[in-house]
Homo-oligomer: A and B are copies of this chain.
Amino acid sequence: MRKVEVCFSPELIHLFDLEGKIVVVVDIFRATSTMVAALASGVEEIIPFADLEACRLMQDKGFLIGGERNGLTAPGFEMGNSPVAYLDGSYVGCKLAMTTTNGTQAIEKSLKAEEVLIGAFPNLKATVSHIQAQSKDVLIHCAGWKGHFNLEDSLYAGALVKSLESTHESSEDGALAMSMLFEKVGHNLKGFFYLKPPTPSDYKIMVSSGILTFA
């Protein structure tokens, strides 16, 4: 059996050895959900940036630029980080440069891994298939919110740990805890997220858009 671990915050990632592993970065609300939605809607390429200014400069190279800080579209950027913006096919064939408060920072901190994957609920099955076609240990890197643990990324981690259980054992307490929590609430994630305090308005958008089809 290979192993799967969970890191709950980019501020804890230095505690983990990334070498030789597949790292799955997850930022459900919203960077990785948006990347998956954009690619599924025809965006050709996405380059993530931790730094706002480096991302902005990509506009001159013909990239669409998406920038978000603290939940708002960053000044001067064409796109925020809403997955809904890509769904009507307006950006088919575009190249996207993207920076967000949490998700793209987590990607940058994962680059020592053998491979970095972008995880979100809509591409869960594809992620599992891709991982199980190899034989490598996995670390799920939750982007969280400004260093804090968050529920949506952690529950995705639990879903992925559960989905990998035929090939990867939970070798660490975080993976075991989130797998158990997902067992408890996974049948009703939509209802569960409405419990989450405070309830930002974007949850409603996200859930009703069908981007986060938890079933």
Interface residues of A in 143-177 (CB under 8 A from B): 146-151, 154, 169-174, 176-177
Are B181 and A195 in contact, with the CB atoms below 8 A?
Answer: no
Are B8 and A149 in contact, with the CB atoms below 8 A?
Answer: yes
Q: Say how far A195's CB is from chain B's closest CB, in angstroms.
A: 7
> How far, in whole Å, are A7 and B29 apart by their CA atoms in the complex?
21
Taken together, the copies of this chain in the complex come to: 2
Residue A184 CB within 8 A of the other chain: yes
Number of interface residues, chain A, beta carbon within 8 A = 29
Residues of B contacting A149 with CB < 8 Å? 6, 8, 12, 173-174, 177
> How far, in whole Å, are A134 and B39 apart by their CA atoms in the complex?
53
Closest B residue, CB atoms, query A184? B184
> How far, in whole Å, are A197 and B174 apart by their CA atoms in the complex?
11
Q: Say how far A213's CB is from chain B's closest CB, in angstroms.
A: 22
Residue A11 CB within 8 A of the other chain: yes
Interchain residue pairs with CB less than 8 A apart (11): A6-B149, A8-B8, A9-B12, A11-B15, A15-B146, A148-B172, A151-B173, A151-B177, A176-B196, A180-B184, A180-B185
